[in-house]
Structure formats: C-alpha cells, structure tokens
Structure 1
Amino acid sequence: MLLEGEIEELGAALKGAKAGPRSAGSAVRSVSTSPPVPMRRGDRRRDESDARAAERFAASAMELDADGRVSEVVAAMADAVDFLTPVEAAAAYVVLDAGRRGQLADSLGQMYARERQGRTVIRMALELQDRGMSEDATAILRWAAAADSSR
C-alpha cells in the first residue's frame, strides 16, 4: 500500500515531470510502490498486476480518508487520473465503492470523466459494466458528457 510519504513523493514526481505520458510514467515508476503504470498504446489485455496496483492505490486512499485527510486523497486522485488506464480506473473505482467510500469513488469517476478523452472514458464505463456496475457506468458517461458540453 502507498503510505503518506509515497503519495506525496508521487505527487511531487508528477508535478516535476515533463509533459507527456512517457515522462509522467517515468516519474511514477521512480516511486517505490507506485500507482498503476501509464497506458500502453494498442495493449488491450487486462494486466492483472496493473489492476492490483490500482486496487492498492484505492486502499491507500481509503486509509487517508479514514484518517480525515480528504484533501490529500483528492490531490492524489487528481494526479492519478492522468495515468490510470480504463481498467485501472475501474478497479480503483470498484475498491472505493466496495469499501463504503462511494463519495471517493464518485470523485474519482468525475475526475476521470472530466480529464480524460471520450474513448478512454467509454472503456472505463465498459469495464464497470463488465463488473456488474451498470448504474455507475452510466454515471461515468453522464459526467463525461457534462464535462464535454462545458468545454
């Protein structure tokens, strides 16, 4: 699990990274227990180790939330949505929702829908639907549509 210092180190590494997914990915890999790796183009396989990393990230977010450190959770999630793949985002969403942290799950979903491009958000929604979370998948799509119309 990510500890407070690791989340702060990740945030600092991401802020210091040059623009682009490769530099952000290298910044993330520099943290010993980093959240999921950046999406690889054309790789549609469900990489279970990436999903497990997303699940660990979500579990760490729940721990911070339980400690009342909500602003740190929100900051970590805001950084994470830049590099979570749709599978990873869905895995983190599921863990947050199952951990009785529906508000955090919704925040992650809203951030992902607002910050990511259409097809990526659609893939996340499909992942949620495949996991039996059709209502949540619909909510993700609605948030993306609302974000798109406000741009």
Structure 2
Amino acid sequence: MSSAGKKAFLASLDVFELEEFWEMPDVFIKDRLRIGEQRARVLEVLGDSMYDPNNPTAPGSMYPGDRAIVDLDDVLPTPPGVFAVHDGIGVVIRIVETIPHSKPPKLRLSSRNPRYATHECETHEAGIVGRIKAKVSMLV
C-alpha cells in the first residue's frame, strides 16, 4: 500500500475511527515532525475556536477545514502548546499549559478566539490525545 520512501499516514476525524489513509514522505513525518512510526493522525479543524477574529492572520491560527497533524506520543504539555484534547464529548483543539506550582497539578486549556472561556482542570482530567505538530491549509 505504501511506496518506497513514503509512510502510511492514518487520518481520522475523531482520532478513534479510521476514515482514510494519507501518505506523506518519511522525511517529513519522522525527521521534520519527529513523529514515531504509525503514531500520527490527522484531524479536521471544525469551528472558530483556534483563530482570533481580531487578529485572523496570527501565526499558529487554525481555520475550519484545515487539517491538524497530531503526534499521539506527545501528551505532556511541557512545554505548553496546541493539543488535541478529548473534552468528554469529542476531540477539540486547545492551547494547553501547566499552571506552575499548582497542587494537585493543573492545566489551563484555552482557545485563540477570546469568545471562548479558558478552562482549568487537574492533569488527569485533561484527556490529552496528542500534540499538534503541523497543519495543512488551503490557500483559497
């Protein structure tokens, strides 16, 4: 199924159900993104939570229809970053950071869009699926 120099890249809209296969060069997945063998997933970005309408071209913004490439092995939010998180209903994309010196350890989950509230939870409640390592966007 996979040609030489390519890696089967599993794509899933909800991380748990296989929707399709993507093929991307090993040099991109393994070497550039540093994602382990068969540990990458692609999520479709839904909604407007990951861009700020007051600054829509800010670096790192994600728009509906973009695809986020997730590293399932990178689930520790140190350093902080953008993660796929299971919120109890489905998988969402959020900025996740630790709250320093909190006891028990806590995380802050936020969106780029100021319209959405920031949420704090204990680390074991976060449901981190994996770190977003890259995105694929349409230019039109």
TM class by smaller structure: under 0.3
Q: Which has the higher helix share?
A: 1
Structure exhibiting the larger radius of gyration computed from Cα positions: 2
